[in-house]
Structure 1
Amino acid sequence: MKRRDFLALSAAALALPRAGFAATEMTLPDAKLTMLSDGKLTLPGDFVLGGLDAAEAAMIRQKFGLDPDSYTPPCNLTLYQDGTRNVLFDVGAGPDFMPSAGKLDAALDAVGLTHDDITHVVFTHAHPDHLWGLLDDFDDPKFANAEYLIGRAEFDYWLNPNTVHTIGDARASFAVGAARRLGSIAEQLQFIEDGAEPLPGITARLTPGHTPGHMAFVLGGKVLVTGDAISNNHLAFLRPDAPSPSDQDPDLAATTRVALLDQITADELAIAGFHLPGGLGHATREGDSYTYIEG
């Protein structure tokens, strides 16, 4: 019996009834988009707003009803189905990051899919909540039939042995975890450059700042998969130019965010947001400020 078959049988034997985690859906001319919940993160209250002065941070907390002590953003994975391909953007946190995340298996169950049904996995970036769901308990890739795609700059950054020494103590475990997981599939990875169309109907856009090689993806010319280039529904829209400590390079991330929101509103793109309420929404603009509208 293969390792993955053993795991599947063990999971089936021990499984309890689980609630479905499928979120919102959108129909495109040649495909269907489904947002799948991987649960949520549990973070310090100043994780996003820590770069603001106290008065502005307090105003944003009041406006959006944010807890000053705890920040719990949702985690939404994008599933793109065109009748031939089941393309999953990112793979969630898995069991080793936070107990409140790593719920992708239940979400796949809810839409009648298994790991084996995923034909392509496309990574926006290699932070734990987007990557650590890659491997099973035997350190084999969970998505055995999938092709894996990632931006070249993102892969090179995390596989650089100096990254763990330069990323800072708070993110050192991110570097170790990313190198181990990406290294395990290095020979299977296809690398994407800015502006490429790695799959029909999918266009890549380099969106650095949150991580050095972060990528977003335009689907069918209608939807932008933002990853963490736009990572919340409050500061990122209200003050997209404001640096945030949630990004590895806060100033570059702010420049990227401003450009993305300009593109989203100018091209009337829907937003598939990893950490946005409901997963799918759109933006309206008023001057240099934006509003996220769920649905």
Structure 2
Amino acid sequence: MLTRRHFLTTTAATLALPMAPRRLWAGSSLTLGALQIDTLSDGTLVLPGDFILGGMPQDEMTAIVTKYGLPTDQLTPPCNVTLLRDGTNTVLFDVGAGHDFQPSAGKLLEAFDALGLSVDDITHVCFTHAHPDHIWGLLDEFDEPVFPNAQLLIGQAEFDYWMNPDTVNTIGDARTTFAVGAARRLGAIADVVTLVQDGQEVLPGVAARLTPGHTPGHMAYQLGAGTEAAMVVGDALGNHHVAFERPDWASGSDQDKDGAAATRVGLLDQLASEQMRLIGYHLPGGGIGRAEKSDAGYVFVEEV
């Protein structure tokens, strides 16, 4: 069926082809038993440095960040949407920023085109949390669902927080648009969304894990089990520099700074001790790698 969304997407992609080089959208791939995992680029964000780095010990923070060849005044983290295929289900973890957040992001449908995927192929969407770069891609320009056949899943605590009418008044001026945008999109799916709990197996081989702090109900997802396992960590590990080297530091991007730090410390300890692969939304190289203990804390080692 040809909808307005399909027409605009196809037309835009066609017009752009002579002018734009082809991008490699599968930033990284991983096979875990019967699970095929790819990370798809939704583009990048452009953020003032203090949104993430504000409130940290500035001299120590600057030494860490510059060691990774990055500035401290502006950061441009990648956005990696995880795609899981098990032969029956085709699952997305988050849906990107959509058309109305930042012009450098919202590129997920271009990634679909490059891989020969259709939005109609998606059977499930599991949300880590409801920040704009993770959930605003749920609706198109006409407020139609972008993934019409998908069962939608989000943590109970996350849904309750953003749907609470007091949230917009208590979240702070800098995040008011976050609250309005989340409530609008979650309100549109309130009658059909599935609310999940910590520890719940949401699909065969996919277990939800509450990782709060970045948002009150942030959820990670463990894929597979034992040595054949990986953790989709969303923004529980929001960068590859200070979040790993000093996970105990508060970050300006987290809504509950102390809670998020505690989550990072515990999560990195588990990932490193179990040598479990992780998939991070804002980590480099497509986001797939491992956490390894170092003298300074931890280091992110990209999967090669």
8 Å contact from structure 1 (residues 47, 71) kept in 2: no
Moved over 4 A (4+): none
Is 1:128 aligned to residue 132 of structure 2?
yes
Compute the TM-score of the two structures, normalised by the length of structure 1: 0.96
Structure 2 counterparts to residues 24-103 of structure 1, below 5 A: 24-103=28-107
**Which residue of 201, 217, 230 maps to 2:237?**
230
Q: Which amino acid aligns with 1:238?
A: E
Q: Distance in 1 between matches of 2:191 and 2:218?
A: 20
The residue number in structure 2 matching 1:265 is 272
Q: Distance in 2 between matches of 1:156 and 1:150?
A: 10
Q: Distance in 2 between matches of 1:110 and 1:22?
A: 9
Q: Distance in 2 between matches of 1:104 and 1:10?
A: 14
The residue number in structure 2 matching 1:294 is 302
Shift of 1:130: 0.1
Is 1:9 aligned to residue 3 of structure 2?
no
Q: Distance in 2 between matches of 1:11 and 1:103?
A: 11
Is 1:195 aligned to residue 180 of structure 2?
no
Compute the TM-score of the two structures, normalised by the length of structure 2: 0.94
Is 1:240 aligned to residue 247 of structure 2?
yes
Shift of 1:12: 2.0
Q: Which amino acid aligns with 1:123?
A: F
**After superposition, what is the alpha-carbon deviation per residue over 1:69-110, rounded to whole angstroms, capped at 9, x for unaligned?**
211000000001001111000000011110110000111112
Structure 2 counterparts to residues 136-215 of structure 1, below 5 A: 136-215=140-219
Closer/same/farther in 2, CA of residues 179 and 245 from structure 1, 3 Å limit? same
Q: Percent identity?
A: 57
Q: Distance in 2 between matches of 1:228 and 1:127?
A: 10
Shift of 1:5: 2.0
Closer/same/farther in 2, CA of residues 151 and 291 from structure 1, 3 Å limit? same
- Which runs of no fewer than 5 residues in structure 2 stay unpaired? none
Shift of 1:288: 6.7
The residue number in structure 1 matching 2:258 is 251
Shift of 1:287: 5.5
Shift of 1:68: 2.3
Shift of 1:40: 0.4
8 Å contact from structure 1 (residues 205, 217) kept in 2: yes
Shift of 1:6: 2.9
Q: Which amino acid aligns with 1:246?
A: S
Secondary structure at the counterpart of residue 198 of structure 1: strand
Is 1:281 aligned to residue 289 of structure 2?
yes
8 Å contact from structure 2 (residues 61, 242) kept in 1: no
Q: Distance in 1 between matches of 2:50 and 2:29?
A: 31
Shift of 1:51: 1.6
Q: Distance in 1 between matches of 2:266 and 2:5?
A: 44
8 Å contact from structure 1 (residues 41, 72) kept in 2: yes
**After superposition, what is the alpha-carbon deviation per residue over 1:219-276, rounded to whole angstroms, capped at 9, x for unaligned?**
0021000000001000111001111111001100000001100110122111110000
Q: Which amino acid aligns with 1:90?
A: D
**After superposition, what is the alpha-carbon deviation per residue over 1:47-73, rounded to whole angstroms, capped at 9, x for unaligned?**
222121221122112211111221100
Shift of 1:286: 2.7
8 Å contact from structure 1 (residues 228, 275) kept in 2: yes
Secondary structure at the counterpart of residue 61 of structure 1: helix
Closer/same/farther in 2, CA of residues 288 and 197 from structure 1, 3 Å limit? farther
Q: Which amino acid aligns with 2:241?
A: H
Q: Which amino acid aligns with 1:281?
A: G
- Which runs of no fewer than 5 residues in structure 1 stay unpaired? none
The residue number in structure 2 matching 1:218 is 222
Cα RMSD of the aligned pairs, angstroms, is 1.3
Q: Distance in 2 between matches of 1:10 and 1:128?
A: 22
Secondary structure at the counterpart of residue 143 of structure 1: coil
Q: Distance in 2 between matches of 1:293 and 1:80?
A: 21
